[in-house]
Amino acid sequence: MSDRDGKIWKDGQLIDWRDATIHVLTHSLHYGMGVFEGVRAYKTDKGTAIFRLKEHTQRLFNSAKIFQLNIPFDQQTIMQAQIDVIRENKLESGYLRPLVWIGSEKLGISAKGNTIHVAVAAWPWGAYLGEDGMNKGIRVKTSSYTRHHVNVSLVRAKASGYYINSILANQEALADGYDEALLLDTDGYVSEGSGENVFIVKNGKIYTPDLASCLDGITRDAVLTMARDLGIAVIEKRITRDEMYCADEAFFTGTAAEVTPIRELDNRQIGDGTRGPVTTRLQALFFDAVAGRAPQYSHWLTLV
């Protein structure tokens, strides 16, 4: 990743990709307190557009606020940085990674007085869970690792350190031959994937866990909006893993994962064991929205 041509925005300037480095004594590298975003840009008829740029940037600033990281730029500047990075790297479509971290002035738990830094990088990224998974659905395993407790981690923030939990769960699932992990909350209810929100469909209604222990996903919000617009009932509530076994359909949502059907959980086939009709409909509408083919959602797109 580090050795390639291109530009990365770092602390207010577009610099060469290879020069976008940090010191080994960077505070965030040692203790994991950094916040970040994952954003996608898509090709549309009018040119490349970033999906829900404002909402992602707002969540980045909310994450920073939760940790009292004082970002030394305003939201407008960080939005412009994301546009510039897509443009400068001549990406027709791709994934954007804004990152906020604490500098290397001093180490120790207290980061008081250390500088706060921001970078934005972008690169091409296809279907996160594979093209085949997009069409046929993926196989998921309930993790032996529990998702964050609300008073251990403040999960409204999208924080670097939280992803240790995600990596453990994902590693375990992949090592056991599955495509992705499903994590339960500290009470044993379904929370989310290692990097995705989760949905089930039962008797024509859509259910997703409430936001207690999972990330307030921007794709989750888009799918809930689209489902409501289609006249499909959506319910946010606690979901058990056996409820999911007996669902008609299930799917993951996320910036990276987009809308990925789940065909199996813990070796139990979900529904017909393929992408179900409601998932198919929402997935198609999602791809129409991001590609500018759904005018009712054009306000979600920022042309670069």
| 197 contacts ligand PMP (rule: CB under 6 A) | yes
- In whole angstroms, what is the distance from residue 259 CA to residue 222 CA? 11
| 215 contacts ligand PMP (rule: CB under 6 A) | yes
| Bridge partners for 197 per DSSP | 253
Q: Which stretch binds ligand PMP (CB under 6 A): 200-208, 247-255, 259-267, 291-299?
A: 247-255
Of positions 179, 196, 249, 264, contacts ligand PMP by CB under 6 A = 196
| 98 contacts ligand PMP (rule: CB under 6 A) | no
- State the nearest-atom distance from the C-beta of 225 to ligand PMP, in Å: 12
Of positions 219, 260, 279, 283, contacts ligand PMP by CB under 6 A = 219
| 94 contacts ligand PMP (rule: CB under 6 A) | no
How far from the centroid of its chain's Cα atoms is residue 284's Cα?
Answer: 19
Q: Which one is catalytic: 10, 158, 205, 237?
A: 158
**Do 259 and 251 touch, CB atoms closer than 8 A?**
yes
Q: Which of residues 153-192 bind ligand PMP (CB under 6 A)?
A: 158, 166, 192
* Widest CA span in the chain: 57
Q: For 24, which DSSP code?
A: T
Of positions 137, 209, 254, 271, contacts ligand PMP by CB under 6 A = 254
- In whole angstroms, what is the distance from residue 143 CA to residue 10 CA? 36
Q: How many CB atoms lie under 10 A from the CB of residue 295?
A: 9
Which lies closer to ligand PMP via its Cβ, residue 103 or residue 217? 217
Would residue 205 show up in a list of annotated catalytic residues for this protein?
A: no
Which lies closer to ligand PMP via its Cβ, residue 93 or residue 197? 197
- In whole angstroms, what is the distance from residue 157 CA to residue 63 CA? 4
Give the tokens for residue 238.
């606690």
- In whole angstroms, what is the distance from residue 172 CA to residue 183 CA? 11
| Bridge partners for 101 per DSSP | 34, 117
Return the active site residues.
158
Chain residues binding ligand PMP by CB under 6 A are 38, 158, 166, 192, 195-197, 214-215, 217-220, 253-255
